[in-house]
Amino acid sequence: MSSLAAARADNFYYPPEWDPSQGSLNKFHGQHALRERARKIDQGILIIRFEMPFNIWCEGCNAMIAKGVRFNAEKKQVGNYYSTKIWSFTMKSACCKQVIVIQTDPKNCEYVIISGARRKIEEFDADDAETLALPADEEKGKLVDPFYRLEHQEEDLKKKKEAEPLLVRLQQVSDALHSNDYALNKALRARLRNQKKRVAEEEIASSKLGIGIRLLPVSKEDAAAAARIKFSSKFERNRKDKRALISSASIFSNSSGSSMADEKRLELESKRRRIKAPAASNLLAGSYKPSSWTLSTVSSRR
């Protein structure tokens, strides 16, 4: 990048028509330093990227908006809590364009939904989640009392002694699993090699069958389902008849063949729907002598 391009990229390029008496470059260009983010700065609104602090339900379409989803929100001050400003964030949900308004709550160090959505309440049992239950607000206030604090500390020490064996066992299991990294890595690489080898064998087997996709290993359910499938006997009979006609046909052209072979071929084609193809194949091959009805038919045609 040239020095001129770098200066323009950093917005430090001063055009020839600029004069120091005209102020800064932003004033000279008639724009704010924050560009489009400050298009409503005259109303006290600044466009920011707002990240959802918790899971919520959209009241427009009842869709859940997960924690961490980001929006282009309008940020403005709506009040004060003592000397701390209270900010309001207005945004539109992507699912139904519902307007959602969220404000800060400096008193409780929390966010409060004003309109457009409701917070998703997620309750769980501390014992099932294997976590420690945080003390309630009332207990936090009682901790100021030294006697109550002393009793609370005694209960905490008792809970620690009860949970210590479990924590020790968990630590021992963790140490046993991660004590030998070389053995774990070796076992993992061996399993991956076996998996790649199996995939390569399946691909080779599929290519031999003329299939462009890799087939999964045969299971008992697949074998039972394939055994229950029965194709139509008519299809098999027609396929055998066609194969017999092809094998019994002459490999020479019509002009080079004898007249006797042509008559037999025409006769076979006219009667192929009334007689079986294997019998016609044996007849042309000379396996047995034709019947008197066939001889009479051939003589009448001559």
Residue numbers in the chain where pLDDT is lower than 50: 1, 7, 256-257, 280, 288, 292-293, 295, 297-298, 301-302
In tens, the pLDDT along 116-148 reads 999 998 777 767 766 767 767 677 777 777 887
Tokens 């109550």, located at residue? 148
CA separation for the pair 37, 77 (Å, rounded): 16
Nearest residue to 113 (alpha-carbon basis) of 57, 64, 49, 72:
57
Helices (H), the chain: 3-9, 25-29, 137-142, 146-177, 181-208, 220-228, 233-248, 259-270, 277-285, 292-301
pLDDT value, residue 84: 93
> Distance between CA 95 and CA 72 in Å, rounded?
14
- For residue 111, CA distances in Å to 137, 212, 247 come to 18, 56, 86
Provide the whole-model pTM: 0.41
| 99-105 sheet: strands from edge to edge | 46-51, 70-81, 84-92, 99-105, 110-115
Say what the pLDDT of residue 191 is.
94
Please give the single-letter amino acid code of residue 129: A
Name the burial class of residue 69, with classes exposed (0-12), middle (13-18) and buried (19+) by CB atoms within 10 angstroms of its CB.
middle
